Amino acid sequence: MQKQGLENIRNVVLLSHSGAGKTSASEAMLFTAEAIKRLGKVEEGTTTSDYDPDEIKRRISINLSLLPCQWKGAKINLIDTPGYSDFVGEVKAAIRVAEGAVIMVCAASGVEVGTEQTWSYCDQAELPRLIFINKMDRENADFYKTVGQIQSKFGSRCLPVQLPIGAQAGFQGVIDLLTMKSYTSSEAKETEFPSSLKSQADSYREKLIEAAAEVDDKLIEKYLEGGELSQEELGSGLRQAVVSGKVVPIFTGSALKNIGFKPFLDAICDFLPSAKERKVIIVSDSAKKAELIEPSQDAPLAALVFKTSADPYVGKLTYFRVYTGAISSNSQVWNTTRKGVERIGQLFMLRGKTQEPIPQLGAGDMGAVAKLTLTGTGDTLGSQDKPVKIAPIEFPEPAFSLAVHPKTKTDLDKLGAALTRLAEEDPTIRVRREVDTNETILSGIGESQLEVAADKMQRKFGVGVKLETPKVPYKETITVSAKAEYKHKKQTGGHGQYGHVLLALEPLPRGSGHEFADKVVGGRIPKNYIPAVEKGVNEAFKEGVLAHYPVTDLRATVYDGSFHPVDSSDICFKIAGAGALKKGLAEGQPILLEPIMNIKVTVPEDFTGDIIGDLNTKRARVQGMDTGGGVNVIEAQVPLAEILRYAIDLKSITQGRGNYRAEFSHYEEVPAHIAQKIIAERQAEKA
Ligand SMILES: Nc1nc2c(ncn2[C@@H]2O[C@H](COP(=O)(O)OP(=O)(O)OP(=O)(O)O)[C@@H](O)[C@H]2O)c(=O)[nH]1
Ligand SMILES: [Mg+2]
């Protein structure tokens, strides 16, 4: 692969809802650019991008893939991303290291929720973009209807630069409105212009010329005076318009039939910004503020790590994008995020699973290196002399959790290490231990993502796990003060057993936890036995009398008792302490407590009624609502037990347009009719 200057590199992310054809289109582009010899198919599991066994099995992309190719002297680093919303972390990482985006839209199904979502990510990142209307060969494919949808959702700045020749089974090729040339067949041979499309093409071309002229004072003057813009002027005007986001050109074709990709690769080179044209935000420790730096070859190294994966052959593989300077094989760099030296072994240029060893990677380019020890996703690799830190990638917070149960004892032993690596690979996955329920909780964006994670644990790390809905950490407490007495007395042959304890229990406010106090006077229980009583009480706090849940929010005071000079011992007083507490709990009109969460649901306005209606069925108390920009943020308090699968409910109510965050607020009494059910289930479980 030849060495590239910054201005000859295009880092381009492919985005869309699942199934629009990103992976197929990237395969067609690699084939057209002769980077691969055989055109693979998603259906057959043979594409360059979807090489992972989990991707082949499910026929969807799960990971971002780097797919470089050479086109007209430029190096294009295509980055294919998953369209399924659970894998949004990969999309965010890919967007961060690209200068331009291609949004794929299916000619038959049109603009979908996922299309709007990726569009808004591009807006947030201010990413110049091209639209490709794919699947023109498919039944029901309708270019003009799709263009209409695109324009009504994303504005009139979206303008066709191509028109299709034919549609569905009759789809043959495309007309380029800039050059007024037409291309048919997968070889993209230039053919005679179809005369039937002439007047339509002229009118679309006119709109394009006007939009291109508008970005440049000289061009608009010429245009308004009725002058013809030259081919060059038209191209450069359009480029400016695309780079500044004033125009989003629409292309079309068929990935399956490999039609339309030659002119599309041209367009990527001609219209999308080069690696030189997009500044990167850096944060400096000293100044404590963000600044922008320009990509440049002649500066110390600054490279952003945007992905970490566990490769079956080389081990941990770190993907990075160089912004300034260069990075060489067999060298040392400074990890400016973690402030430590990192040894760099062999660098690779990746194309799907292919790893081509390379000596160096320069500014603007991206690649990977194996076996870094210190470095994680989001870190900057740089130089110690001039340690710049690139602003890290912002990943969405996990919103869906499942409990992980190892299948066997061997699986249990390997579980911790596997989970650590899983979280290292996917920044949207978190692992934590829930002490109250004694479960390991795996959190992420959605159910499919966690299922894939479980498959991956089995395949990559040899750890078998079952995923289950997490248990709710219920607690128990009492509602009235109570007194209880317990005498542990046994006379068996020689040495007997004797411990006698009187406890007073009183409820404490929510969130107080449990306390133990000693008010024994006159040595009725000798001081040296009090710690044993406390131990017994504390142990009994671990399991309440209603449903074996931990006891909280009460004080147990030992105020009287008696002892035997020979038969008493620590163990006897421990038993008596525990026994007294159990009796007292039963006397104190015990209740079940459940965790209440503060939840913030962000949805487009139209869904507000449905969301509130649904929350009401979940015993929620809506506390308030923030409106603005067509989006409502609903705040509510809701029992954790009701929102264990809320990510799934929310997705189905809003077709994926909503998101939410929940955090623990406090414990509250479980309503009696629900408590009865929980107690019955728990007792059945214990039996
Ligand atoms: N008829 C037709 N089918 C296509 C075309 N492009 C892709 N497909 C099919 O559509 C399905 C999805 O294609 P993919 O390339 O996997 O789509 P994707 O956008 O990568 O999907 P995700 O990875 O899930 O986001 C596959 O069955 C493809 O064979 C096309 O141009 N025409
Ligand atoms: Mg794909």
Numbers of helices and strands, H then E, in the chain:
16, 37
DSSP readout, 463-522? --EEEEPPPP--EEE-SS-EEEEEEEEE--SSS-EEEEEEEEEEE--TT--EEEEE---T
User: Which residue out of 13, 29, 42, 91 has the highest number of ligand 1 atoms within 8 Å of its CB and is therefore the one to mutate?
Assistant: 42
The pLDDT, as a whole number, for residue 86 is 93
Q: How far is the CA of 135 from the centre of ligand 1 (A)?
A: 8
Ligand (nearest to CA of 45): 1
Q: For residue 673, what are its two tokens?
A: 């009719």
Q: At what angle do helices 570-587 and 530-541 cross, to 10 degrees?
A: 40
Name residue 273's amino acid. Answer: P
Q: For residue 408, what are its two tokens?
A: 């066997």
Ligand 1 atom 9, closest CA:
21
Q: How far is the CA of 651 from the centre of ligand 1 (A)?
A: 23
Atom of ligand 1 nearest to the CA of 104: 19
Q: Are 335 and 318 in contact (CB under 8 A)?
A: no
Report residues of the chain scoring pLDDT below 50: 1-2
How far is 512 from 411, CA to CA, in rounded Å?
38
Which residues line ligand 1 at a C-beta cut-off of 6 Å? 16, 18-24, 42-43, 60-61, 82-84, 134-135, 137-138, 254-256
Q: How far is the CA of 104 from the centre of ligand 1 (A)?
A: 10
Q: How far is the CA of 113 from the centre of ligand 1 (A)?
A: 17
First to last CA, the chain: 68
How far is 521 from 504, CA to CA, in rounded Å?
15
The pLDDT, as a whole number, for residue 1 is 41
Q: Where are the alpha helices (DSSP H) in 247-300?
A: 261-271
What residues flank ion ligand 2 with Cβ within 5 A? 22-23, 61
Ligand (nearest to CA of 40): 1
Atom of ligand 1 nearest to the CA of 83: 25
Q: How far is the CA of 393 from the centre of ligand 2 (A)?
A: 22
Q: How far is the CA of 61 from the centre of ligand 2 (A)?
A: 4
Q: Are 551 and 482 in contact (CB under 8 A)?
A: no
Atom of ligand 1 nearest to the CA of 55: 23
Ligand 1 atom 27, closest CA:
43
Ligand (nearest to CA of 102): 1
How far is 58 from 459, CA to CA, in rounded Å?
15
Q: Are 400 and 430 in contact (CB under 8 A)?
A: no
DSSP readout, 11-65? EEEEE-STTSSHHHHHHHHHHHTTS-SS---TTTT--SS--SHHHHHHTS--S-E
Which of 415, 405, 401, 400 shows the shortest CA–CA distance to 457?
Answer: 415
User: Which residue out of 24, 26, 61 has the highest number of ligand 1 atoms within 8 Å of its CB and is therefore the one to mutate?
Assistant: 24
Compute CA 341 distance to the chain's CA centroid, rounded to the nearest angstrom.
29
List pLDDT tens digits, range 102-146: 999 999 999 999 999 999 999 999 999 999 999 999 999 999 999
How far is 25 from 254, CA to CA, in rounded Å?
8
Q: How far is the CA of 531 from the centre of ligand 1 (A)?
A: 69
Ligand 1 atom 12, closest CA:
19
Q: From residue 148, how far is each of 16, 251, 637 by CA, in Å?
A: 18, 14, 42
Where in 294-339 does DSSP place strands (E)? 302-311, 315-324, 326-328, 331-335
Report if pTM > 0.75.
yes
Q: How far is the CA of 37 from the centre of ligand 1 (A)?
A: 20
Q: Are 579 and 486 in contact (CB under 8 A)?
A: yes
Spatial neighbors of 188 by CB under 8 A, at least 6 apart, are 32, 173, 259, 260, 261, 262, 263
Q: How far is the CA of 65 from the centre of ligand 2 (A)?
A: 9
Q: For residue 96, what are its two tokens?
A: 């961060």
The pLDDT, as a whole number, for residue 312 is 76
User: Which residue out of 50, 51, 256, 449 has the highest number of ligand 1 atoms within 8 Å of its CB and is therefore the one to mutate?
Assistant: 256
Q: What is the 3-state secondary structure (H, E, C) of 575-639?
A: HHHHHHHHHHHHHCCCEEEEEEEEEEEEEEHHHHHHHHHHHHHCCCEEEEEEEECCEEEEEEEEE
Spatial neighbors of 22 by CB under 8 A, at least 6 apart, are 14, 15, 16, 61, 80, 81, 83, 104
Q: How far is the CA of 250 from the centre of ligand 2 (A)?
A: 20
Ligand (nearest to CA of 16): 1
Q: From residue 536, how far is each of 260, 477, 532, 573 by CA, in Å?
A: 78, 17, 6, 8
DSSP-based three-state secondary structure for 216: coil
Q: For residue 106, what are its two tokens?
A: 């299916």
How far is 29 from 12, CA to CA, in rounded Å?
12
Q: Are 342 and 453 in contact (CB under 8 A)?
A: no
Atom of ligand 1 nearest to the CA of 17: 25
